[in-house]
A and B are shown apart, each in its own frame.
Chain A
Amino acid sequence: MRVDYYLYLSAVLFTIGAVGVLVRRNAIVVFMCIELMLNAVNLSLVTFARMDGNLDGQIIAFFVMVVAAAEVVIGLAIIMSIFRSRRSASVDNANLLKY
């Protein structure tokens, strides 16, 4: 069975996620794109585990999922409170912390 298709798919998903983070302004969409990138990486890790015949990659993928879950909790809470105070979910509007 050929596994390189999974890697192509992973690369496509990662690129879509990265472009989404760069071009979209809505914080929720940006967040979803980050999740997409994380999962693209997860797919790569699982694929590599399959290729090498051991479980290292799968274990790292689990770690990534746990970290992503924690990140979602914190990130959504931040987005919520920003939206409450500024009535906007645009990442470009939240630019107070600068030079």
Chain B
Amino acid sequence: MTSTTHYVAATGVFHLTFLLVLLPTVGAAVLLLGGRRTNPWGHLLGCAMPILSFVIGVIEFVALIGRDGGQSRQLDQHLWSWVPAGSFHANVNLLLDPLSLVFVLLITGVGSLIHVYSVGYMEHDPDRRRFFGELNLFVAAMLLLVLADNYLVLYVGWEGVGLASYLLIGFWSHKPSAAVAAKKAFLVNRVGDVGLSLAIMLMFTTFGTFAFDGIFNGAASGHAHSGTMTAIGLLLLLGACGKSAQAPLQSWLLDAMEGPTPVSALIHAATMVTAGVYLVARSAAIYDVAPHARVAVEVVGAVTLVMGAIIGCAYDDIKKVLAASTMSQIGYMMLAVGIGPGAYAIGILHLLTHGFFKANMFLSAGSVMHGNNDEVNMRRYGGLRKVMPVTFACFSFGYLAIIGMIPFSGFFSKDKIIEAALDKGGFEGGFLGTIAIVGAGLTAFYMTRLMAMTFFGVKRWPKDVHPHDAPRVMLIPMAILAFGSLVAGYLLILGGSLQHFLTPAVGGSVEVGAHTISPVVLSLITLAVVAGGVTSAWYLVARKPIPAEPPTYVTPATKAARASLYGDAFNEGVFMRPGAYLTRALVFFDNRGVDGLVNGLAALVGGTSARFRRLQTGFVRSYALSMLAGALALTATLVLVRVG
């Protein structure tokens, strides 16, 4: 790990960094505030903004490569002072370093392709302009998140991502299921956000600053109490779990499939779920001094990896299978960043390759739905490879990449993670490595099942559906992503290029003297497990005709997987029901107790005064009588007192 973190001021072409965030923000503002008059060209502006950001990102990437390695590749651009209050400073600064630049390229690159694809996918939607505005907002928030140089600005981006995902998941809010799914995603994300905000407050009270360099140097100096560092690490992990849909906050991701398919691709490949991995990788200096929190990251990753894979085996909804697969793949990344020094770059590598093949598969799934009247049930597909050849080809690239077939990108990244887990050694390494290998087998199983049910076998679609390939504006982004799924892994791993590039941000790779198992043998073992997964899926699913309705008599394991391993049931039983009872009890107490007391007092006063009011008859003579009686009583009292 680098001993101190020091950022140099941005110069030259790096002055453009703020444009990366500003351009999509302007796009979002124009499209969301401009109203109906922007309808005719709204989608073009929406596409142009992320593409321009991508171009700037590429220019800066080239410029950054041109600088000598090490710390001069970490550039800080000061924009303005946000809260200058005495000794307290909160600056809005942007940090451009290899880690954030890699994310910028992924977000704007894959994001731009998804924007272009959406032009075709949302063509007949009356709200296409709003859709592009919200997509731009999503990209802008995510860019702010990865470019922030302190946790406060990062938090702003973090919340912006939460807002944009809420808007987009609930884009078709006329469907109650979409509205509920958006609310669920928002609420589950809030739980994670509480963790992140507490972590930020704890960091501020411990180190007196929000800035990355101050906090990382403070953590590296070792002055902070180790318990505090563990607490910060665990709270950051909670935040990461919320955004990245890791156990136990995974439940929103499956429901988030209610949004339009390009949104799913954006959430799963370029933005949102990668934020948690980014957070942990960025906070490497904190996890370096908090080994217990690091173990927690590993465990969360490993558990989610298996959970996602198991859930993916049981769903019939093509998008939900892909969503479960994202959970599982993010689990791999979490596992990698949890393993720590040397494995951060591997986690980011898997994140990048996953960005390509998952975006590709989601867009292809969108194309499949597009050609099948928005049908998502794989039991109504079958034999689509003949009628949708381009989609089939693109999806196959993604499929081969995710199961880790040899020249495809997933092979390089996933094998590296398994290797890193096993190299950790001892019981921990063996356990995590085994889980990662099992996960690879399960991945092969559910993806093969998806392929077989969708593209192979006999056709099972209804008579009035005529499946066809999507228009070219959708196919071209898919093709580019499919090409990326093929070559990205090899290019990034060539000569350890990504690892060297990321070294200033996340620390260099720590070469272990001897591998636990030689990498070649390990690759062979993994490929054998993957082959086993493929074969068993073929044997169990594709060999016999697929019934139109899912079988009712199934093993308890299948039943559990169909219910998302009872994640929702757990949340409902443990949090939602007691919460509902508590609020009901509070409402009862409020109505009967507090309100009863207040209302009772008011009724007492009101009733009494209503009686006394009757004395005001309006007859002057009765008032005169009462005055006389009062005067007599007064006089009588005086006389009695005098005499007495």
* Chain A contacts to B: CB under 8 angstroms: 18, 21-23, 25, 30, 91-92, 94-99
Q: Is the CB of A92 within 8 A of B621?
A: yes
Residue B62 interfacial (CB < 8 Å): no
Chain B residues, CB < 8 A from A96: 618
Q: Is the CB of B618 within 8 A of A97?
A: yes
Nearest CB of chain B from residue A3's CB, rounded to whole Å = 20
Choice from B615, B620, B628 contacting A94 with Cβ under 8 Å: B620
User: How many residue pairs at the A-B interface have CB separations less than 8 Å?
Assistant: 34
Chain B residues, CB < 8 A from A98: 616-618
Nearest CB of chain B from residue A1's CB, rounded to whole Å = 27
| Pairs of residues from A and B, 5 with the lowest C-beta to C-beta distance, nearest first | A98-B618, A95-B618, A99-B613, A99-B616, A91-B620
Residue B619 interfacial (CB < 8 Å): yes
Q: A99-B613, A99-B614 are in contact. Are A22 and B619 (CB under 8 A)?
A: no
Q: Is the CB of A95 within 8 A of B617?
A: yes
Chain B residue nearest to A34 in the complex (CB): B624
Instruction: Count residues of chain B with CB under 8 A from any CB of chain A.
Output: 12
A-B contact pairs, 12 of them (CB 8 A): A18-B628, A22-B621, A22-B625, A30-B621, A91-B619, A92-B620, A95-B617, A95-B618, A98-B618, A99-B613, A99-B615, A99-B618
Q: Chain A binding site: helix, strand, loop or mixed by DSSP?
A: loop
Chain B residue nearest to A98 in the complex (CB): B618
Chain B residues, CB < 8 A from A99: 613-618
Chain A residues, CB < 8 A from B613: 99
Chain B residues, CB < 8 A from A97: 616, 618
Kindly identify, within residues 595 to 636 of chain B, every residue whose CB is under 8 Å from any CB belonging to chain A: 613-621, 624-625, 628
When chains A and B are docked, how far (Å) is the Cα of A23 from the Cα of B616? Answer: 19
Chain A residues, CB < 8 A from B619: 91-92, 95
Nearest CB of chain B from residue A13's CB, rounded to whole Å = 15
Q: Is the CB of B621 within 8 A of A91?
A: yes
When chains A and B are docked, how far (Å) is the Cα of A22 from the Cα of B625? Answer: 6
Chain A residues, CB < 8 A from B614: 99
Chain B residues, CB < 8 A from A30: 620-621
Chain A residue nearest to B631 in the complex (CB): A18
Chain A residues, CB < 8 A from B621: 21-23, 25, 30, 91-92
Chain A residue nearest to B628 in the complex (CB): A18
Chain A residues, CB < 8 A from B625: 22
Q: Is the CB of A22 within 8 A of B616?
A: no
Chain A residue nearest to B620 in the complex (CB): A91
Chain B residues, CB < 8 A from A23: 621
Choice from A22, A25, A94, A95 contacting B624 with Cβ under 8 Å: A22
Nearest CB of chain B from residue A88's CB, rounded to whole Å = 13
Chain B residues, CB < 8 A from A18: 628
New A-B pairs, 18, CB < 8 Å, besides A94-B620, A96-B618: A18-B628, A21-B621, A21-B624, A22-B621, A22-B624, A22-B628, A23-B621, A30-B621, A91-B621, A92-B619, A92-B621, A95-B618, A95-B620, A98-B616, A98-B617, A99-B615, A99-B616, A99-B617
